[in-house]
Amino acid sequence: MFPLETLKLSEYLKNDLKDCASIYKEKPNYGGFNIGFHTYKNYVKHGGNDLLLKWTQAYLACVAFVDEQIGEIVSAIEKSGNANNTLIVLTSDHGYHMGEKDYIFKNSLWEESARIPFIVAGLNAKEGKECKTPISLIDVYPTILEYCNIDTNPNIYGSKKELDGFSLQPLLKNPEAGKWLGKPYAVTSVASSVVLKKNEPGKTKDQHFSIRTEQYRYILYRNGEEELYDHAKDPYEWKNVSNDLSYAKVKVQMNEYAKEAKKTNE
């Protein structure tokens, strides 16, 4: 399966990190996930592209195995007689770098790690349609509550705090319209290297945030450094335009989104 001669490596830009935030490149204050840089360097040092291709082959084999198991689950649902009353949600908690930005791992704020698969089937979800509206995993819970006819504010008798997420049902019914009550962006955060005591929650000010709209990705590091990528022109996030004056208004808006997202975490 997946013969090496049929594979190719992910799109790659040499010196891609040169215009990224210094807090990331210097790494000691970024967080505990620098394994991604070390892993990539070790692959290049001990085998170069040949070893990276073998890594890619192994990764694809794992994906194929999981895909087969998903098929088993779907087949079982169809045979159970409950297929017409079941909503299937396929997702993940993170993506994965395959060498882009000299990184092989998860837990970055760039597209390869922050963007996740999200596929919904069953009930009134439109078959074969794609929705370009950004969503976050916090939207899954209120979606399930609404489909199950459960109060979408389960804290009403407790903390009184409303959920931060929004039901995806409007998007599932009409994915191309892109109309729902949620925010126009998805949020990703990564902790910094600040040492915490056992069970001590990390402070918002010590975290790094990424905001993704349909067109842009904006990254705000805890030291105030920024990155901005225009996916309409730069789908691989190769050019950080945060200092480009032609994107000044965009950066201001994205920064406001980041501040809004940080408030919900406090």
204 — pLDDT class (breaks 50, 70, 90): confident
Claim to verify: residue 79 and residue 191 sit in the same structural domain: yes
Claim to verify: residue 122 and residue 26 sit in the same structural domain: yes
Phi, psi of 37 (to 5 degrees): -70, -45
Range of the domain at 192: 4-134+184-265
Under DSSP, is residue 163 helix (H, G, I), strand (E, B) or coil?
Answer: coil
Tens of pLDDT, residues 242-251: 999 999 999 9
Please, which residues have CB within 8 angstroms of residue 195's CB and are 6 or more apart in sequence?
Answer: none
Report pTM: 0.90
Number of domains in the chain: 2
User: Does the structure show a pLDDT above 60 at 32?
Assistant: no
Task: Write out the two tokens for 132.
Answer: 């370009």
Claim to verify: residue 40 and residue 99 sit in the same structural domain: yes
Claim to verify: residue 167 and residue 36 sit in the same structural domain: no
Claim to verify: residue 118 and residue 13 sit in the same structural domain: yes
The DSSP H or E segment spanning 227 is strand 226-230
Q: Of the residues 181, 205, 236, which one is the last residue of a structural domain?
A: 181
User: Does the structure show a pLDDT above 90 at 76?
Assistant: yes
Q: CB–CB of 116/129 below 8 Å?
A: no
Claim to verify: residue 11 and residue 110 sit in the same structural domain: yes
Tens of pLDDT, residues 34-67: 788 889 999 999 999 999 999 999 999 999 999 9
Under DSSP, is residue 190 helix (H, G, I), strand (E, B) or coil?
Answer: strand
Q: CB–CB of 208/225 below 8 Å?
A: no
- pLDDT average, residue stretch 113-125: 92
Q: Which residue has the higher pLDDT, 205 or 94?
A: 94
CATH of the domain at 44: 3.40.720.10
Range scoring the smallest mean pLDDT among 83-97, 107-121, 188-202: 188-202
Task: State the number of CA atoms in the 13 A half-sphere of 2 facing the CB.
Answer: 16
Q: What value, to the nearest 5°, has the Cα angle with vertex 32 and ends 28 and 35?
A: 95
The DSSP code sequence of 67-100 is: HHHHHHHHHHHHHHT-GGG--EEEE-S----SSG
Tens of pLDDT, residues 15-31: 999 999 988 766 544 45
- At which residue do the structure tokens 């969503």 appear? 135
Closest CA to 78 of 144, 122, 143, 125: 122
- pLDDT average, residue stretch 138-167: 85
